[in-house]
Amino acid sequence: MTTNPKNRVVVYTDGGAIDNPGPAAISTIIETTGKLFPKQYSEKIGNATNNEAEYKALIFALRKLKSLFGKKKIKNLEVKCYLDSKLLVEQLNGIYKILERDLQPLFLEVWNLKIDFKNVSFNYVPREENKEADKLVKEELSNFK
């Protein structure tokens, strides 16, 4: 049985920090079929490391999907997440352990958010294939004085 395209969403996320740690920003691009998509979001998040910003971007995306689609619809929603952080993808897919204490609660938050969806997959893409999300983060970071 195949999934209806209306029940499939593709998400690109990115996060970055100046000076690592330092002023940080996140971005999310949500693509699906329908008149209102794609949607793009970006914002400053205060001070963080690059890895913390990457996790926070993914958390933002999953929360945003919940608010856009509602609790009932997300139970049938398949989400493909594309990140240019190999570390996060490997951690989220259970290949790497989470050794940094500050990342452990962020990992748990992603894990708790994803259980509300039918299926969430985490996929690595090179930065060149994540250009739009990367561009949004850089724009946010350029506004730090």
> For residue 139, what are the contacts with CB-CB under 8 A and spacing of at least 6?
42
pLDDT(118) > 80: yes
Per residue in 56-95, pLDDT (tens digit) is 999 999 999 999 999 999 999 999 999 999 999 999 999 9
Residue 143 has what pLDDT? 85
Distance between CA 59 and CA 79 in Å, rounded? 13
- Domains delineated in the chain: 5-140 (3.30.420.10)
pLDDT(140) > 80: yes
Model confidence at 117, pLDDT cuts 50, 70, 90, reads: very high
Model confidence at 5, pLDDT cuts 50, 70, 90, reads: low
**Full-prediction pTM beyond 0.75?**
yes
Average pLDDT over residues 41-49: 97
Average pLDDT over the chain reads 94
